[in-house]
Amino acid sequence: MRKIVTLIAVGIILTGCKNETKSQEEEVNSEIAQSTAEVKAETDSSNIEITPISHATAVFQWDDSVFYTDPVGGAEAFAGMARPDFILITDIHGDHMNAETIMALEPGDTKIIVPKAVKKQLPDALQKNLIVMNNGETIEHAGFSIKAVPMYNLPQTKDAMHVKGRGNGYVLEKNGERLYISGDTEDIPEMRDLKNIDVALVSMNLPYTMPVDQAADGVLAFKPKKVIPYHYRGKDGFSDVEKFKQLVNKGDSNIEVELMEWYPKKG
């Protein structure tokens, strides 16, 4: 009888040890999970998901909102993408403005935010969709604050490919997060003076915008948290975005440089 009691006691002790070990394991696993979540939150804090389409064209998912910038390439370029809540167009050139693509997307009553020069070149069928913005103007639309900012070539001349006031870059803000889309610009004072930008898309291609070193200098002036080079195909091929990344991080290692595939390989 005493032997049976002893065996029962040993069993209770072992069960208690197992339960304590299991409890410790659960506590450790919980701490690991919490730590992983904290790290993820620190490294992926942006609410903006960017899908490059090509060159200057992209789809943005920001919380529950979707918008397109400079949609070109036909409706097939946007196959499988959510319909936009609004569209941004920066300039009149064909790599930014394509009426056939916009019509093929069947915008319905989707608003299209454009500079005045773009409005003049879009067909009557789209005029009801347009919201015209000039450099320096700000509107509230679909839960966003949207500011039109200058984009132009230096030096400023009448025969420049991009004259000041014709096109728009854009700064969008929602819930304290700020996105900058440069459009076709050089390292202009208005870009250097930007503040508190979380994500910046910056162009760099010759002879249309600026070389890599100027783009890096401009970025180092306004110090976004993250910068994404885009619009980097020029007359002589692609700009060296790896060099851009090196120059930016040499100047400020705290700026994240994300390289995306803006030029899908054919075939």
Q: What is the CATH number of the domain that holds 217?
A: 3.60.15.10
Is 195 in the same domain as 120?
A: yes
Each residue's pLDDT tens digit, 44-76 = 557 999 999 999 999 999 999 999 999 999 999
The sign of the dihedral angle between the CA atoms of 75, 113, 121, 55 is negative
Does residue 263 have a pLDDT over 60? yes
CA distances to 54, 75, 247, 263 from 266, rounded to whole Å, are: 12, 17, 30, 9
Contact between 73 and 94 (Cβ < 8 Å) = no
Each residue's pLDDT tens digit, 75-121 = 999 999 999 999 999 999 999 999 999 999 999 999 999 999 999 99
pLDDT reported for residue 158: 80
Each residue's pLDDT tens digit, 139-193 = 999 999 999 999 999 988 887 889 999 999 999 999 999 999 999 999 999 999 9
Is 34 in the same domain as 50?
A: no
First to last CA, the chain: 82
Cα–Cα distance for residue pair 160/144, rounded to 1 Å: 32
Number of domains comprising the chain: 2
For residue 195 the two structure tokens come to 């503040």
- Asked if the structure places residue 266 within a domain, the reply is no
Query: What range defines the domain where residue 5 resides?
Result: 1-44
Question: Which residues on adjacent β-strands are paired with residue 48?
Answer: 62
